[in-house]
């Protein structure tokens, strides 16, 4: 895993933190827009996680169909779930999207962890993914919890 990829992954957490904190701000209009931005960014980042598995499969010389199917499925499911999370706030409360995103991030990293146990993923990739997921999920859970109980943060 190149150090640049690790650095860029860490920098990819900045929108989670900035949008997450802003979604907890005292101004309801700004907080609502930032919640939308957080959901949008989390959905796009989740889709990116899936796309990585397409890349792994396309570069693989793996001959097992079950592995190929699993990689391609793990590649498309995060994209579909991310899209659902973008659409959900149009028909239900945004917190539903946050819950689904939390579940999706945890499910994706657990599936990747299992793939790593089978030596289908590079170990350093898993280290980066776990770190990214812990921070992203922590922010999503914090925003979900504080918004549900009505707390805001004054900057």
What tens digit of pLDDT does each residue of 90-108 get?
999 999 999 999 999 999 9
Backbone phi, psi, residue 2, to 5°? -65, 145
For residue 145, how many other CB atoms are within 10 A of its CB? 12
Prediction pTM value? 0.92
Q: How far apart are CA 11 and CA 34, in angstroms?
A: 18
Q: What's the pLDDT tens digit per position in 40-90? A: 999 999 999 999 888 888 887 767 888 888 888 888 999 999 999 999 999
Q: How far apart are CA 34 and CA 105, in angstroms?
A: 20
Q: How far apart are CA 153 and CA 144, in angstroms?
A: 13
The pLDDT of residue 36 is: 98
């Amino acid at each position: 895993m190149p150090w640049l990829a690790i650095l860029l992954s860490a920098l990819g957490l900045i929108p989670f933190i900035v949008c997450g904190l802003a979604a907890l701000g005292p101004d309801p209009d700004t907080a609502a827009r930032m919640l939308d931005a957080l959901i949008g960014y989390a959905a796009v980042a989740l889709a990116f996680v899936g796309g990585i598995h397409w890349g792994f499969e396309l570069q693989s010389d793996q001959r097992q169909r079950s592995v190929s199917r699993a990689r391609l499925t793990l590649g498309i499911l995060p994209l579909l779930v991310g899209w659902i999370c973008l659409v959900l706030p149009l028909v239900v409360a945004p917190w539903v999207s946050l819950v689904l995103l939390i579940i999706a991030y945890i499910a994706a990293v657990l599936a990747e962890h299992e793939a790593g146990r089978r030596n289908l993923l590079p170990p350093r990739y898993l280290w980066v993914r776990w770190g990214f997921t812990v921070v992203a999920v922590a922010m999503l859970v914090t925003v979900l919890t504080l918004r549900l109980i009505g707390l805001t943060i004054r900057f």
